[in-house]
Amino acid sequence: MKDKITKDTLESWLDNVRPYAHDGKVADYIPALSQQNPDDLSAAIYYLDDDCIHAGEVETCFTLQSISKVIALALALMDNGEEYVFNRVGMEPTGDPFHSIYRLEQYRPSKPLNPMINAGALAVSNMIHGDNPAEKVGRLLSFIHEMTDDHSIGVNEEVAASEFQSAYLNRSLLYYLKQHDVINGSVEETLDVYTKQCSIDVNVKQLSRIGALFANEGRDIKSGRRIISKHFARICKTFMVTCGMYDASGAFAIKIGVPAKSGVSGGVMASLNGFGGIAVYGPALDEKGNSVVGTKLLEILSNRYDLSIF
């Protein structure tokens, strides 16, 4: 195991990266996200021995947004099996922005290229078992409660409603997927599940524990109980490497080399076998939609502690 990072060190690195927030911009295409404070900053490292080091405003909650795509994928794989899921969603990176629509038309039969872009993630949300949206979201929340051992985690209804009302592009993707039989049932209900899934509220401590569970090959950090199979945890981490940072995934792999998933709320979750989980929150985003300070902090951590998996 690599040396542990101390709380003092983490705090001083947060101070170092804090000014970079000014190079980014808080997402505003989901109106409720524009209320986030661009200067908020927190980070947590969850080691596999159940030790969590954290710094900054660690109690501040933020919504998972695209980070939820990794968790929803794990649940959809457990619900349906690998064959079913990957018959409907591909495994290839796109190099396109996360909400891009145009590649959907390039393949016949239509198939979103991967579960980390919105088209693929919407299809994955549609696959989560449950008789209605509330049951599906409830199952996803229970899964997250299990992963974090924290039953207080819930949906930020204000953010969910704000996205639901303004999600014209995601609706378009869903109608396209519906036309081509990639999804079952109702477009509006699937969008309801997806927007609530994206609006699950966490803090960095909770998120770093989810990252640690993936790093721990799907086993609970405290009890060692298996929550996700090793194989499915590996699939999720591989997608984090190839597509987790949207169309910046290639540069991120070269510079930082850690499986990671970001969301437009400014959260980033990283997961490193043999090390643990890392979560950073800083809502100012670069032009690709990744947290500026989150990326910077992970770069420092990776360089100083030689964390790259490559």
Ligand X SMILES: NC(=O)CC[C@H](N)C(=O)O
Size of the site for ligand X (CB under 6 A): 11
Of 182, 193, 161, give the one whose Cα is nearest residue 30. Answer: 161
Joined together, the tokens standing for residue 249 give: 């995934």
Catalytic residue among 42, 46, 47, 66: 66
CB 270 within 8 A of CB 259: yes
Which one, 115 or 289, has the nearer CB to ligand X? Answer: 289
Joined together, the tokens standing for residue 91 give: 């495994």
Q: Which residues, numbered 100-159, are part of the site for ligand X (CB under 6 A)?
A: 118
Position 208 contacts ligand X (CB under 6 A): no
With CB under 6 A as the contact rule, the residue among 44, 221, 248, 264 that binds ligand X is 264
Which one, 53 or 70, has the nearer CB to ligand X? Answer: 70
Binding residues for substrate: 66, 118, 163, 170, 194, 246, 264
Q: Which residues, numbered 34-93, are part of the site for ligand X (CB under 6 A)?
A: 65-66
Catalytic, 69? Answer yes
With CB under 6 A as the contact rule, the residue among 32, 73, 137, 198 that binds ligand X is 198
Which one, 69 or 209, has the nearer CB to ligand X? Answer: 69
Of 16, 23, 18, 125, give the one whose Cα is nearest residue 69. Answer: 125
The Cα 125–Cα 103 span in angstroms is 20
Joined together, the tokens standing for residue 189 give: 């209900």
Q: Which H or E run includes 60?
A: none
Residue sitting closest to ligand X (CB): 66
Position 170 contacts ligand X (CB under 6 A): yes
Catalytic, 66? Answer yes
Which one, 275 or 281, has the nearer CB to ligand X? Answer: 281
The Cα 184–Cα 166 span in angstroms is 22
Give strand ranges (E) for the chain.
25-26, 42-47, 52-56, 62-63, 201-202, 260-262, 267-272, 276-281, 284-285
Residues with a known catalytic role: 66, 69, 194, 246, 264
Q: Which residues bind ligand X (CB under 6 A)?
A: 65-66, 98-99, 118, 163, 170, 198, 263-264, 289
